[in-house]
């Protein structure tokens, strides 16, 4: 199946892009990707999912096919935009699940839009704020990406996100 997209509008601005990864029935599952990827990270997982539920994936601000976000980005603004985009796609309630940064946004959706959120999935994420050191590192990378208008600043994340290759150095 070819995923479809929805370009609704929220409060006069172009909304986040919503991709239908599975056209099914019932309450949809809304998937929120990690940084610095987009909705495409979910395709293989959705293909392996049992059942026939509708599965939507949202491109968060500045990633995939979604516009840049507000000048002062926040989890709250992202959460509100996710809910507005999913509602524009025709759904009043959803199960919301997010990976890493998407998990932060999913948690904000649940906190700010309890009546919208039927269920919550937090995948490889946490519910606590970053340490001051981690926050500074995130800000440094964000400023570099913004200043250079390039994702080169996130390339250094590869070493911290990926483990060593299997068998690379196993103790005997």
Closest CA to 19 of 43, 3, 32, 34: 3
Backbone angles phi, psi at 148, to 5 degrees: -90, -10
Q: Which segment, 57-66, 126-135, 136-145, is predicted with the most confidence on average?
A: 57-66
Q: What residue segments make up the domains of the chain, in order of their start? A: 4-127, 129-159
Q: What is the pLDDT of residue 26?
A: 93
Res. 86 pLDDT band, cuts 50 70 90: very high
Q: What is the pLDDT of residue 146?
A: 72
Closest CA to 80 of 109, 54, 53: 109
Q: What is the pLDDT of residue 3?
A: 47
Q: Is the pLDDT of residue 23 over 90?
A: yes
* Beta-strand pair 117-123/53-59: unpaired
Q: What is the pLDDT of residue 137?
A: 83
Instruction: Please give the structure tokens belonging to residue 79.
Output: 């959460």
- DSSP letter (8 states) at residue 131: P
Handedness of CA 106, 111, 113, 119 (dihedral sign): positive
Three-state SS at 74: coil
What average pLDDT does the segment 100-116 reach?
96
Tally of CB atoms within 10 A around 172:
2
Could you tell me the CATH superfamily of domain 4-127?
Alpha/Beta hydrolase fold, catalytic domain (3.40.50.1820)
- DSSP letter (8 states) at residue 43: H
| Preceding omega of 36 cis (within 30 degrees of 0) | yes
Find the angle CA(108)-CA(113)-CA(118) to the nearest 5 degrees: 100
Q: Is the pLDDT of residue 171 over 60?
A: no
Task: Report the share of the chain in percent with pLDDT over 90.
Answer: 52
Residue 8, Cβ density class (10 Å: 0-12 exposed, 13-18 middle, ≥19 buried): middle
Is the pTM here over 0.85, yes or no?
no
Residue reference for tokens 């998937």: 31
């Amino acid at each position: 199946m070819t995923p479809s997209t929805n370009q609704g509008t929220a409060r006069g601005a172009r909304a986040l892009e919503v991709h239908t990864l599975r056209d099914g029935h019932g309450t949809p599952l809304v998937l929120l990707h990690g940084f610095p990827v987009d909705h495409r990270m979910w395709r293989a997982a959705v293909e392996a999912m049992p059942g026939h539920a509708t599965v939507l994936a949202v491109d968060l601000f500045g990633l995939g096919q979604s516009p840049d976000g507000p000048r002062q980005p926040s989890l709250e603004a992202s959460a509100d935009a996710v809910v507005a985009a999913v509602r524009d796609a025709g759904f009043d309630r959803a199960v919301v699940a997010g990976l890493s940064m998407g998990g932060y946004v999913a948690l904000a959706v649940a906190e700010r839009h309890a009546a919208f959120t039927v269920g919550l999935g937090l995948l490889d994420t946490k519910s606590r704020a970053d340490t001051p050191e981690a926050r500074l590192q995130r800000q440094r990378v964000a400023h570099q990406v913004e200043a250079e208008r390039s994702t080169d600043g996130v390339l250094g994340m590869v070493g911290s996100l990926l483990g060593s290759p299997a068998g690379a150095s196993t103790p005997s």
